[in-house]
């Protein structure tokens, strides 16, 4: 299977790095080719149809639990070597990891990602992406896989930038949002139709001894 990598000094990646340095988040409305976006969406739907997506939990390790009053998405983690579309996406994310390390000196070592499917009406309440007892997640990345999405469908990612500023992202297919995991609270608003994404995190080495 062939990864899809681009140079770490590609203008698109450098724009993301500059955005993170300046304001802590970046929105690129056209990040993936349409064909790859459609292939990833088809893979997500196939996994859902085969019952492979499971209700997402909140919390970590032994303290994790399913709480649909907080989040209602169904997820499955992706791994290298499963399907070509996922490998191509992971290759792009590795290029972005290299660009972030070169531009921001974050020491990012890997990237983890899962498909997320929100049924109509599902949501995820306001939260931050870094666990209290695990500081490895540094940068969050959300790629949307929804075809012909309109603002009236809902499902926006709402980022709380400070006490008075909010920014809503319409989850249009091919759009990528990147933000500092521990710094930007955010939520997923309910939608009137099924909402698909790939949600992931660039991670550094943790402070644990083992």
Answer whether 141's CB lies under 8 Å from 177's CB: yes
> Percentage of the chain surpassing pLDDT 90?
80
Q: Does 2 score more than 60 pLDDT?
A: no
Q: Does 210 score more than 50 pLDDT?
A: no
Domain for residue 3, yes or no? no
Domain for residue 100, yes or no? yes
Q: What is the pLDDT of residues 86-139, one digit of tens each?
A: 999 999 999 999 999 999 999 999 999 999 999 999 999 999 988 766 789 999
Domain for residue 6, yes or no? no
Q: Does 204 score more than 50 pLDDT?
A: yes
Domain for residue 180, yes or no? yes
Neighbour count for residue 69 (Cβ, 10 Å): 8
Q: How many domains does the chain have?
A: 1
- Better-scored residue on pLDDT, 3 or 161: 161
Answer whether 196's CB lies under 8 Å from 38's CB: no
The pTM of the full predicted model, rounded to 2 decimals, is 0.91
Separation of alpha carbons 199 and 43, rounded Å: 15
Domain for residue 27, yes or no? yes
Range of the domain at 43: 11-57+71-204
At residue 46, the pLDDT reads 98
At residue 209, the pLDDT reads 38
Domain for residue 66, yes or no? no
Separation of alpha carbons 113 and 110, rounded Å: 10
Domain for residue 96, yes or no? yes
Domain for residue 63, yes or no? no
Q: Does 1 score more than 90 pLDDT?
A: no
| Exposure string for 158-187, b = 16+ CB within 10 A, e = fewer | ebebeeeeebebbbbbbbbbbbbbeebebb
């Amino acid at each position: 299977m062939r990864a899809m990598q681009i140079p770490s000094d590609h203008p698109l990646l450098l724009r993301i790095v500059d955005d993170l340095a300046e304001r802590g988040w970046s929105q690129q409305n056209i990040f993936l080719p349409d064909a790859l976006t459609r292939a990833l969406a088809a893979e997500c739907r196939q996994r859902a149809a085969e019952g492979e997506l499971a209700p997402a939990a909140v919390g970590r390790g032994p303290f994790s639990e399913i709480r649909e009053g907080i989040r209602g998405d169904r997820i499955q983690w992706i791994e290298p070597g499963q399907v070509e579309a996922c490998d191509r996406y992971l290759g792009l994310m590795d290029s972005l990891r290299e660009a972030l390390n070169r531009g921001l000196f974050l020491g990012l070592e890997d990237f983890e990602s899962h498909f997320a499917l929100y049924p109509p009406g599902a949501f995820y309440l306001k939260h931050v992406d870094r666990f209290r007892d695990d500081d490895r997640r540094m940068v969050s990345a959300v790629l949307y896989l929804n075809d012909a999405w309109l603002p009236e469908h809902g499902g926006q990612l709402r980022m709380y930038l400070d006490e008075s500023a909010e920014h809503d992202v319409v989850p249009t297919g091919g759009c990528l949002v990147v933000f500092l995991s521990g710094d930007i609270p955010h939520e997923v608003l309910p939608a009137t139709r099924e909402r698909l994404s790939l949600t992931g995190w660039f991670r550094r080495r943790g402070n644990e001894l083992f």
